[in-house]
Structure 1
Amino acid sequence: MSRLQLALNVSNLEVAISHYTKLFGTAPAKIRPGYANFAIE
């Protein structure tokens, strides 16, 4: 199965994590300083 990867620069990572958690219906698979990774199935 192929995966699509998308990288976005955001001004506020905490706000972006909250937004995309609601949008995707799942929490990030990985969170590191300045980085969050969502693994969407």
Structure 2
Amino acid sequence: VREEIEKGNVLRGRRYCEFQQDKPVLLIMGGSQGAKWIN
């Protein structure tokens, strides 16, 4: 993970992605064979 991502600003990231401040964020990543199952 790049340092600028790992040490980023949470509030700035939420604003950039237009996420609501009072809601939790869940990130799910997948690729290759698992991507079809996730999608």
* TM-score exceeds 0.5: no
Bigger share in helix? 2
Higher relative CO (CA 8 A, sep ≥ 6), structure 1 or 2?
Answer: 1
Larger Cα-atom Rg? 2
Bigger share in strand? 1
Question: What is the TM-score of this pair, normalised by structure 1?
Answer: 0.34
